[in-house]
Chain A
Amino acid sequence: MSMTMSQKILAAHAGLAEVRPGQLIMANLDLVLGNDITAPVAINEFAKFGLSEVFDKAKIALVPDHFTPNKDIKAAQQCKQMREFAYSKGIENYFEIGEMGIEHALLPEQGLVNAGDLIIGADSHTCTYGALGAFSTGVGSSDMAGAMATGKAWFKVPSALKFHLTGSLSPWVSGKDLILHIIGLIGVDGALYKSMEFVGEGVASLNIDDRFTVCNMAIEAGAKNGIFGVDEIALAYLKEHHQGSPKIYEADSDAHYDAIYEIDLSQIRPTVAFPHLPSNTRTIDEVGEIEVDQVVIGSCTNGRISDLRVAAKILKGRRVNRKVRTIIFPATQRIYLQAMEEGLLRTFVEAGAIVSTPTCGPCLGGHMGILAEGERAVATTNRNFVGRMGHPKSEVYLASPAVAAASALTGRISNPEKVEEL
């Protein structure tokens, strides 16, 4: 039987020659992830096993990134519980705040993700690692607890959607615009329970950070996972960060897809998702006059070095609108340092933006940039649900770093292609 990339990875980890969509399997995991919100619940559940050890100290990653640096006493208690568990169980991949970053930028950077891996994380954006040809998916805390105890998780084998990419993106258009375009096309449940597989000659024109962004938001279309075919660009990234040798899985030529979408990258416009669903998209040409109070550039979706470079290119030598609070979050300590060495942080500060330590912070309405009633933000984050960044009557518009930076200059959602006129 022919299989997709995702199905082949699942079959290999379940010790099966083949799997078919809908089949329920128990599979061995290469990595199990949790953060300061989901791990405490998992740690309580893990205790019910009555085990003194986790299944593999090297295959668990614990990242305090959501409400850190500890935003209040309750958050501090949750981080303390996770830290004590990590030290008492000898978890090798626990990242204290000085070593940390937003989990989905951090794990690939730390060489914890390889092509062909099967990874679960108690965080919905765990699907990010498909950029490197891994099968990775978000689960809940009980699954994380079970995985820490057994090294296994159950899966329902997904069917798949194929996105065949051709052409290349225009200047100021990025992976964020591509994935927002796709979610607008198929809807927030357009890929429900399915894999999204990205292939075709257009893939070569997407840098690795664009691919992380695309896979990161697969969940916003309801997908189980997003995955790219592994090419030279992915291999170069893996060579730089990972010690092991990659396992490359290609879909069979006659693999079944529930639908195949042909996407010409050159036709993608800068795209914005209006409140309150990521599928509520409009191109920059259709947004009209939307004034904003805050701009957030960062997150597990768009806090990588390429994202910061684009923002800096627009903000360089200019000042943000005085009415716009502009907050920039490098996603990891290493990206922060790189941005410092490249002079990007100076550009941001001189433009009137603030630069934060890595944290999920405002993306989920945690801290470091909460919106008041009636306020609007343009954010490079991944969700614009009701109350996502603060007050239930605030609004989040999702966009690329280029659109966000251009909007910071003008105080309204703006087209980065017209940056010379701003």
Chain B
Amino acid sequence: MKIEGKVFKYGSNVDTDVIIPARYLNTSDAKELASHCMEDIDATFAQKVEPGDLIVAEDNFGCGSSREHAPLAIKTAGVSCVIAASFARIFYRNSINIGLPILESPEAVKGIKNGDVVSVDFSQGVITNETTGEKFNSEPFPPFIQEMVAKDGLINYLKEEVLG
């Protein structure tokens, strides 16, 4: 799988309260959540983001709450991949569980600016900054997680592997 889009870049410790503020959590409707995605840190994100675009951020992306609404809002807004130097752990597992592609690569984060066009080849784990031509490698998922992603998330994985 290969994706390409323009980058929305943010700093460290982007928390789940700015990804999707709690005042909107009185619904679990994914489209409604997406319409408020990143609102408190980037008020125009939801209007500007186009299908395929990427979020690139520094350390500890998605820290804070366990709300799965956060990766869900990002995914539903059309974001094809989040690249960060590191992820908060609940956000990390929630993204895998719902099938939002995420990659850890501190080098790529350093080499990508806001507005750059970036492509990702997931099969090779290669991130390319199409604006500058620079290429970066990302840490591949362990086989267990690759298998879960291949089965399109946690629910299908458990259905097949545990409940059989």
Contact = CB atoms under 8 A, between A and B. Distances in A.
**A, B in one complex:** yes
A140 B17 CA distance: 15
B44 to A, nearest CB: 14
B3 interface: no
Interface string A109-125: 00000000000011110
Contacts of B26: 67, 71-72, 74-75, 78
Contacts of B159: 48-49
Nearest to A25: B144
Interface in A186-218: 188-189, 192-193
A65 B157 CA distance: 31
Interface string B122-164: 0000000000000000000010110010000111001100110
18 contacts: A37-B69, A66-B25, A124-B65, A124-B90, A139-B66, A140-B68, A140-B71, A142-B94, A142-B154, A142-B155, A146-B155, A188-B13, A189-B13, A189-B63, A222-B63, A365-B22, A387-B17, A388-B22
Interface in B4-61: 13, 15, 17-18, 21-23, 25-28, 40-41, 59-60
B138 to A, nearest CB: 17
A75 B28 CA distance: 10
A369 B23 CA distance: 13
A253 to B, nearest CB: 28
Given A122-B66, A146-B97, A383-B64, 18 more contacts: A24-B144, A37-B25, A40-B28, A45-B155, A122-B68, A124-B64, A124-B90, A139-B66, A140-B97, A142-B68, A143-B94, A145-B155, A150-B163, A189-B59, A189-B63, A364-B17, A366-B23, A387-B21
A386 B155 contact: no
Contacts of A237: none
B133 to A, nearest CB: 31
Interface of A: 24, 26, 37-38, 40-41, 44-45, 48-49, 51, 66-67, 71-72, 74-75, 78, 121-124, 126, 138-143, 145-146, 149-150, 152, 154, 188-189, 192-193, 219, 222, 224, 277, 364-366, 383, 385-388, 392
Given A364-B65, A365-B23, A383-B64, A224 B155 contact: no
B85 to A, nearest CB: 10
B158 A146 contact: yes
Given A143-B97, A222-B63, A387 B40 contact: yes
Contacts of B2: none
Contacts of A392: 21, 40
A277 B12 CA distance: 11
Contact of B28 (A26, A78, A149): A78
Contacts of B41: 386
A138 B90 contact: yes
B56 to A, nearest CB: 17
Contacts of A123: 65-66
Nearest to A150: B162
Given A123-B66, A124-B64, A140-B94, A149 B142 contact: no
A71 B65 CA distance: 20
A41 B27 CA distance: 9
A37 B154 CA distance: 20
B144 A192 contact: no
Interface in B44-102: 59-60, 63-69, 71-72, 86, 88-90, 93-94, 97-98
A-B residue pairs, 7 tightest by C-beta? A140-B94, A140-B68, A74-B26, A142-B97, A189-B60, A364-B22, A124-B66
